[in-house]
Amino acid sequence: MMFSCKEIGGLMDDYLSGELSPEERELFINHISGGKVCKRKTAFEEAFDHDLRSLPPFTPDMSLVRKVQNKVSGYHKEAETPVFSLFQENQRLFFNSGLAVIVVLLLALNVNFYVFMSRNSVQNNFAGQPKPAGERTVLQPVKFVLDVPDARESSTHSVAVVGDFNGWDPGKNKMEYDKKTDAWVLNLELKPGIYDYMYVINDKIWVADPNAGKLRDDGFGGQNSVLEL
């Protein structure tokens, strides 16, 4: 078997990437050794490939990196105290003008108004029927059951549930093997919501729940099981 010049052109990328089989590679090299045009083209492609891979990267300024790191480090603080931060940044302006007095008065009035309203709201709750369960987040019991032939094999030594509710961490919610039902089981209590989840067998094999009512694309070519509570 021999490659034609046209076939050589089609195999060029695979040749450069080292993805030809040993037999194909040998045939490829035999062909280019025997013809000037293909040899020259291959030499060009090799040099081009090398130069392309040697292009230096654009690097970010360290001040930009620090900016991102500082933003991440202070994220929770910022989220918790935006009013305080704003007040600190602008305090000179506020104290140097008569506006500060007005703002403080308005704030005080607002606080009083909210306190008044919230007291009424609590009173209403107490005055009426018993406090509805919806006031607190009610956890929903969920039973995960994996009953597939693979899981019953003796080679299966661990199964875990991973999903949005546990940061997709296989170390967090391990299932237990139930001899009676011959299945892997785990009971959890979750807040109402929609969760994507999967099972992890032996810490390696990730599978969607074969009994899930709904599946959806995970953005990486696979599918997640969907749990709606």
Partner 1 sequence: MADHDDDVLLVRECLRGDNNAFCKLVDKYKVPVYNLAYRMLQSEEEAEDAFQEAFFKAYKSLDKYKLKYSFFTWLYTVTLNICRNRLKKKRRYFVFSINEPLSDDNKLTWQIADTDMAPDVLLERRSDMSLINAAVQSLPDKYRAVIILRYLEDMPYQEIAEIVKLPLGTVKTQIHRGRRLMREYIKGERGGTNDV
Contact positions with partner 1 (CB under 8 A) in 92-121: none
Least spacing, CB of residue 87 vs partner 1, in Å: 24
Report the distance separating Cα 172 and Cα 157, nearest Å.
16
- Binding mask 147-166 vs partner 1 (x if CB under 8 A, - otherwise)? ---------------x-x--
For 179, the 3-state DSSP assignment is coil
Task: Kindly state the smallest distance separating residue 224's Cβ from partner 1, in Å.
Answer: 9
DSSP-assigned letter for residue 139: P
CA-based nearest residue to 162, from 151, 170, 154, 174: 170
Q: How many CB atoms lie within 10 A of CB 97?
A: 11
Is 49 near partner 1 (CB under 8 A)?
Answer: yes
- As a whole number of Å, the end-to-end CA separation of the chain is 62
72 touches partner 1 by CB under 8 A: yes
Task: Report, in Å, the least distance between residue 159 CB and partner 1.
Answer: 15
In a 13 Å sphere around the CA of 194, the CA atoms on its Cβ side amount to: 7
Q: Parallel, antiparallel, or unpaired for β 214-217 and 205-207?
A: unpaired
Out of 1, 2, 18, 57, name the contact with partner 1 by CB under 8 A.
Answer: 57
In 3D, which of 154, 166, 150, 165 has the Cα closest to residue 206? 150
Question: What token pair was written down for 171?
Answer: 């170390």
* Contact between residue 199 and residue 146 where contact means Cβ atoms under 8 Å apart: yes
Shortest reach from residue 102's CB to partner 1, in Å: 36
Can you list the positions of beta strands (E) in 40-139? none
Asked if 21 touches partner 1 (CB under 8 A), the answer is no
Q: Near partner 1 by CB under 8 A, which window of 45-53, 98-106, 122-130, 151-159?
A: 45-53
Q: Name the segment binding partner 1 (CB under 8 A); options: 43-51, 126-134, 146-154, 186-194.
A: 43-51
Indicate which single residue of 6, 53, 143, 180 sits in contact with partner 1 (rule: CB under 8 A).
Answer: 53
Residue 67 interacts with partner 1 (CB under 8 A): yes or no: yes
How far is 3 from 25, CA to CA, in rounded Å?
11
* Contact residue for partner 1 among 13, 26, 153, 176 (CB under 8 A): 13
Q: In whole angstroms, how close is the CB of 44 to partner 1 at the nearest point?
A: 6
Q: Would you tell me which residues interact with partner 1 (CB under 8 A)?
A: 13, 17, 44, 47-49, 51-61, 64-65, 67-69, 71-73, 75-76, 162, 164, 167-170, 198, 200, 206, 218-221
